[in-house]
Amino acid sequence: MIKIIKRYKFWVLPLFLFISQAVYTFNSMGQIRYEELAESVRNPFWFQNRLMFDGLSGSLSWYGFQALVYNIFGFHLFAAKVIRLILAGISIFCLAGILKKYLGIRNGLIPLLAIGISPTLLYFNILQTTYGMDLQFLPICLYLLSRIYQNPQKTLNHILLWMLVMIAWLCYPNFVFYIPALGVVDYVILRGSKIQSKSKKVSFSIIAFLSPLLIVFFYIKNRQDLIYDPVAKSGLFRGGVKSGLDFSSLWPSLQVTLGDLFQKGNSYYFELKNAEFSGYYPITAVLLVVAASFYIFFTLKKIRLILGVIYLTVLLTIFLGHSAGDSVFSGIRRATPLLVSFYILYSIVWSFILKLKIKMKFLKFSLVCLLLLLPLHHLLVYPENLLFLKRYSPYRNQGWFAVGSSPEKSLDILVSQVQKDDLKLACKDNKGQTNLCRYQEVYAAVAGSCLWNRLECHKILGYDERTKKMIPLSVELLDPD
């Protein structure tokens, strides 16, 4: 038993990090935001009916996977949080495997701790939206890439990698910034290998990459919205970006992102009391990592390719990511590749300094201590950020899902009613008068509960302002087009 514990003690840390994330997740279920309802209830229900809700709702792999889970295990209002928690667990163990393999057990522990307890990562993982899901998918992709490096002959790893890349891109448009880097590294691995059928591997990778997109294209009935929705002025792979590049918004957008990283989370759907590098002392670690990475780039040729693709990713994110869309809706959720790039550099610099052989031991000790300030900061702000989750969000739903003491109980009240009789939904103003309101989300939640939980339900009715009558609601009636 002691030998087993010693052998697998490294894996205690990723387990601890998963538990830390679980604590965050299960403490975030006191409220539900509009975008969470849209991305974990309404859009999956529309996908179930082979429809894309609108051009802004393009995270089809996320909606499809949720619909699959709901069909198998049933529907729960916060099920998407659990799905993201499981994905986070897979991701953190993949990351641990990569760091253990390339940095070693001793050198990989601190980078793993710094990444796994990241305030930004912990926060994004509690959301039922797709925001920040690239942070979960990328370690899995990198793990598959490491398997390709270990055995480039195995075609299955190529297929799995590039299929997952497209699934991740269909899930969150931000993932596009990683695709050039992944492609370059995969190509270099293939070119340097001694396998005979290199062109065959490339062909299989391209087919695997395109297959999820083709499946989605033939599954969705309103395909025109995939390409361009004239009402929403958006389409697939564009998320909430309705226009092209506007470099005049670069600096205002970048300012919002820097505020999210160095002050507090205060952008659209990013509410974090203590940001990634809040305070003064973590900034010293950031400056050290940036400076040391340039030194390593010019002194170590064997790692120059990795550093080069990281710098490429940073430049693409800064100049393209911050020039697309309205700066009002910018923030770290659209610039997560910056965070990913930093932590890869942090891992490289940490390992480099530990292996550094210099006579001035005090200098090496000082550099190590400066780098340790980052995970120390993350551990210190963890409790305060956790308590901050209890604060009511300005984006929370205050309508249908606030009629009970919690969003879950509010939905239970509506589902209980529709099982007994027709459910009549009508918005009331302060004077008790019926007025216009959104029905799509509450209809999808109630109808989805009936469908996915296999319940016997009556009709769901909504108030029609034109006829002044209650009429049956349906996906076709509520479609925004």
DSSP three-state, residue 176: helix
In DSSP terms, 425 is beta-bridged to 462
Q: Determine which helix (DSSP H) or strand (DSSP E) holds 5, and give its type and residue range.
A: helix 2-8
**Calpha distance 183→149 (Å, rounded):** 13
Residues 6+ apart with CB under 8 A from 109: 10, 13
DSSP letter for each residue of 284-343: HHHHHHHHHHHHHHHH-GGGHHHHHHHHHHHHHIIIIITSBS-GGG-SGGG-HHHHHHHH
**Calpha distance 422→86 (Å, rounded):** 37
DSSP letter for 128, please. Answer: S
**Calpha distance 17→401 (Å, rounded):** 32
The letter for the amino acid at 34 is Y
In DSSP terms, 113 is beta-bridged to none
Virtual torsion, Cα 407, 411, 412, 417, nearest 10 deg: 150
Other beta carbons within 10 Å of 305: 13
Angle at 233 between CA 227 and CA 238, to 5 degrees: 60
Q: For 421-468, where are the alpha helices, taking DSSP H only?
A: 440-452
Q: Are 120 and 272 in contact (CB under 8 A)?
A: yes
Spatial strand order of the sheet with 460-464 comes to 423-425, 460-464, 469-472
Burial class (CB in 10 A: 0-12, 13-18, 19+), 416: exposed
**Calpha distance 389→31 (Å, rounded):** 10
Where are the domains positioned within the chain?
Answer: 400-478
Residue 41's closest CA among 15, 69, 14, 13? 69
Burial class (CB in 10 A: 0-12, 13-18, 19+), 311: middle
What is the predicted pLDDT for the residue at 290?
A: 96
What is the predicted pLDDT for the residue at 434?
A: 59
Residue 314's closest CA among 212, 217, 177, 182? 177
DSSP letter for 405, please. Answer: S
What is the predicted pLDDT for the residue at 240?
A: 67
**Calpha distance 325→49 (Å, rounded):** 30
Q: Are 276 and 267 in contact (CB under 8 A)?
A: no
One pLDDT digit (tens) per residue for the chain, 481 residues: 445 555 678 899 999 999 999 999 999 999 999 999 999 999 999 999 999 998 888 899 999 999 999 999 999 999 999 999 999 999 999 999 999 999 998 899 999 999 999 999 999 999 999 999 999 999 999 999 999 998 888 889 999 999 999 999 999 998 999 999 999 889 888 888 877 777 888 899 999 999 999 999 999 999 888 888 887 778 888 776 655 677 778 888 899 999 999 999 889 889 999 999 998 889 999 999 999 999 999 998 888 989 999 999 999 999 888 887 666 678 999 899 999 999 999 999 999 999 888 777 888 899 999 999 999 999 999 999 999 998 988 888 888 888 888 899 999 999 999 999 999 988 765 555 656 578 999 999 999 999 999 999 999 999 888 888 899 999 999 988 6
Buried b (16+ CB within 10 A) or exposed e, 25-58: beebbebbbbbbbbbbbbbbbbbbeebbbbbbbb
Query: What are the two backbone dihedrals, phi and then psi, of residue 235, each rounded to the nearest 5 degrees?
Result: -170, -165
- Quick one: the chain helix, strand, coil %, rounded to 5? 65, 5, 30
Q: For 155-230, where are the alpha helices, taking DSSP H only?
A: 155-171, 179-192, 198-219, 224-227
Q: Are 257 and 268 in contact (CB under 8 A)?
A: no
Query: What are the two backbone dihedrals, phi and then psi, of residue 427, each rounded to the nearest 5 degrees?
Result: -75, 145
Residue 182's closest CA among 154, 212, 217, 140? 140
